[in-house]
């Protein structure tokens, strides 16, 4: 039998394990032209929360009583498709199933075995691509500028900070524990860090840690932290709206400060970013990220949970900040 995880109800506010169900089905049989994939690592990501809602978005909502999906690294365990050999590894947007059949279209073949397989869900997957391409297309970092990043000890944020250091910037990170702050400074060479959970006045803390102001704010969290960052931006600052995890589970969108005055006065640019819009640049970005990894200019963290049944729990843990770097589940 084959196990799968479905969405059974749409969460109101914070999601819980009861929103999901682990079911069993017959192991799928292979048709001509197909491959049988065995999941090895499943990525759990904050954006999946948005897909659990029913509503208009840049990506279609998950259907009730049907399997969840996310980026997965899988092994080809049987093949009736001449493009894929048995024993090969692939990554792609796949269902939360132990085994599944696929026609191979849209899957990425994993050729470079010098990095762990799970890295194809993180630094060499959508995480690394998001950090690299959002900085490239909107951030346009210049040497000597100050880069502020929230969610700094997470998957995207930790890569953003390291790219900032590679580009010769002063990098300040915001994260939720003192251990995370110490870690991003010692492992990734962040210049400074702010624990938003123990800081009463975030605008003042950002001012103290960014004495020359903020040239680029890479926002992974939104909410009050965005408001505090906006009070410290320089002329011609670039604000990248990559994510807003602080409001994903709110039943009502919280109100914040008005930004238009600051935007005009500072002639700032604020732009939303969705990595999938930049598909044509993926090869060039992966090449650069791979080179930095090989040259030890870039490093990464992973939090690895084990067992297919623990995929929903690992997903929920992201919202509690239990992860350092990319959260993945190993089968
Ligand atoms: P992640 O940073 O590895 O994990 C999320 C982190 O957010 C947690 O570890 C937690 O760390 C922090 N967090 C949780 N609740 C928070 C809150 N209420 N306020 C402030 N911080 C909170 O996740 P990721 O995959 O790298 O994603 C980071 C952001 O980028 C998310 O908003 C995600 O939706 C977005 N994203 C966007 C794209 C795109 O194409 N636009 C692509 C990938 C990701 P602490 O301990 O520091 O609180």
CATH for 118: 3.90.180.10
Residues 153/194, Cβ–Cβ less than 8 Å: no
CA of residue 44 to ligand 1 center, whole Å: 11
In three-state form (DSSP H/G/I as H, E/B as E, the rest C), the secondary structure along the chain is CEEEEEECCCCCCCCCHHHEEEEEECCCCCCCCCEEEEEEEEECCCCHHHHCCCCCCCCCCCCCCCECEEEEEEEEEEECCCCCCCCCEEEEEEECECEEEECCCCCEECCCCCCCHHHHHCCCCHHHHHHHHHHHHHHCCCCCCEEEEECCCEHHHHHHHHHHHHCCCEEEEEECCHHHHHHHHHHHCCCEEEECCCCCCHHHHHHHHCCCCEEEEEECCCHHHHHHHHCCEEEEEEEEECCCHHHHCCCCCCCCCCCHHHHHHHCCEEEECCHHHHHHHHHHHHHHHHHHHHCCCCCCCEEEEECHHHHHHHHHHHCCCCCCEEEEEEC
Cβ(134)–Cβ(240) under 8 Å?
yes
In short, whether 22's Cβ falls inside 6 Å of ligand 1 is: no
Please name which of 124, 5, 107, 73 lies closest in space to residue 328, comparing C-alpha atoms.
73
Within a domain: 115: yes
Q: In order along the chain (331 residues), what is the average pLDDT of each group of 10 residues?
A: 97 96 95 98 97 90 97 98 97 98 96 89 97 98 98 98 98 98 98 98 98 98 98 98 96 93 98 97 95 96 98 98 98 96
Please report the pLDDT score of residue 258 as a whole number: 96
- Kindly state whether residues 141 and 107 are assigned to the same domain: no
CA of 226 to the centre of ligand 1 (A): 13
* Cα(154) to centroid(ligand 1), Å: 6
Residue 284 lies in a domain: no
Q: How close is the Cα of 30 to the center of ligand 1, in Å? A: 38
Q: Is residue 90 part of a domain?
A: yes
- Same domain assignment for residues 200 and 141: yes
Using a 6 Å cutoff on CB, does residue 5 contact ligand 1? no
Pocket flag, ligand 1, residue 275 (CB < 6 Å):
yes
Q: Is the CB of 247 under 6 A from ligand 1?
A: no
Answer yes or no: is 101 within a domain.
Answer: yes
Task: Evaluate: CB of 151 within 6 angstroms of ligand 1.
Answer: yes
In a domain, 281, yes or no: no
- Note the pTM of the prediction, 2 decimals: 0.97
Distance 161 CA to ligand 1 centre (A): 14
Query: By residue range, what is the domain housing residue 174?
Result: 126-276
Exposed, middle or buried: residue 129 (CB in 10 Å: 0-12, 13-18, 19+)? Answer: buried
Same domain for 90 and 12, yes or no, is: yes
74 falls within a domain: yes
Q: Among the three residues 260, 276, 292, which one is the final residue of a domain in this structure?
A: 276
**Can you give the pLDDT at residue 108?**
94
Q: Give the Å distance between the CA of 260 and the centre of ligand 1.
A: 25
Using left for φ > 0, alpha for ψ between -120 and 50, and beta otherwise, residue 99 falls in: beta
In a shared domain, residues 138 and 94 = no
321 pocket-lining for ligand 1 (C-beta < 6 Å): yes
Atom of ligand 1 nearest to the CA of 247: 18
In this structure, is residue 293 part of a structural domain? Answer: no
Are 57 and 175 in a shared domain? no
Q: Domain tally for the chain? A: 2
Distance CA 9, CA 7 (A): 6
Residues 6+ apart with CB under 8 A from 295: none
Using most ligand atoms within 8 A of CB, pick from 59, 137, 154 the residue to mutate for ligand 1: 154
Task: Give the distance (Å) from ligand 1 centre to CA of residue 59.
Answer: 18
100 with 80, same domain? yes
Pairing between β-strand 302-306 and β-strand 233-241 as defined by DSSP bridges: unpaired
Residues 158 and 90 in one domain: no
Give the pLDDT confidence score for residue 194 in this predicted structure: 98
CA distance 306 to 314: 9
How crowded is the C-beta side of 89, counted as CA atoms within 13 Å? 16
Do the domain assignments include residue 283? no
40, 90: one domain: yes
Q: Are residues 20 and 40 in the same domain?
A: yes
pLDDT attached to residue 305: 98
Q: Whose CA is nearest to atom 3 of ligand 1?
A: 154
Same domain, 326 and 217: no
Q: Which of 159, 321, 324 to mutate to test the pocket of ligand 1 (most atoms within 8 A of CB)?
A: 321
Residue 111 has what pLDDT? 87
158 and 199: one domain? Answer: yes
Protein residue whose Cα sits closest to atom 36 of ligand 1: 243
Same domain, yes or no: 24 and 80: yes
């Amino acid at each position: 039998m084959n196990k799968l995880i479905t969405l059974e109800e749409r969460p109101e506010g914070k999601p819980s394990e009861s929103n999901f169900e682990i079911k069993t089905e017959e192991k799928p049989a292979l048709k001509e032209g197909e491959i049988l994939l065995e999941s090895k690592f499943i990525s759990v990501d904050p954006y999946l929360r948005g897909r659990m809602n029913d509503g208009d978005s840049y990506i279609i909502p998950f259907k009730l009583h049907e399997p969840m999906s996310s980026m997965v690294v899988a092994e080809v365990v049987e093949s009736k498709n001449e493009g894929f050999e048995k024993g090969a590894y692939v990554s792609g947007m796949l269902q939360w199933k132990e085994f599944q059949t696929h026609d191979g279209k849209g899957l990425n073949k994993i050729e470079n075995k010098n990095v762990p397989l799970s890295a194809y869900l993180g630094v060499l997957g959508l995480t690394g691509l998001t950090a690299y391409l959002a900085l490239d297309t909107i951030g346009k970092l210049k040497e000597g500028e100050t880069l502020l990043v929230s969610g700094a000890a997470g998957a995207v944020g930790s890569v953003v900070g390291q790219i900032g250091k590679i580009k010769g910037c002063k990098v300040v990170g915001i994260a939720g524990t003192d251990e995370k702050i110490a870690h991003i400074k010692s492992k990734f060479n962040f210049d400074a860090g702010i624990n938003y959970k123990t800081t009463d006045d975030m605008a003042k803390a950002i001012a103290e840690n960014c004495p020359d102001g903020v040239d680029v704010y890479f926002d992974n969290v939104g909410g009050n932290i965005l408001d505090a960052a906006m009070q410290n931006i320089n002329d011609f600052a670039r604000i990248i709206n990559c994510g807003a995890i602080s409001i994903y589970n709110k039943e009502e969108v919280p109100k914040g400060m008005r930004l238009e005055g600051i935007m005009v006065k500072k002639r700032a640019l604020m732009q939303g970013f969705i990595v999938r819009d930049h598909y044509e640049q993926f090869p060039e970005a992966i090449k650069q990220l791979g080179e930095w990894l090989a040259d030890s200019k870039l490093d990464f963290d992973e939090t690895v949970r084990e067992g297919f049944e623990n995929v929903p729990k690992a997903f929920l843990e992201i919202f509690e900040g239990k992860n350092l770097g990319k959260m993945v589940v190993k089968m």
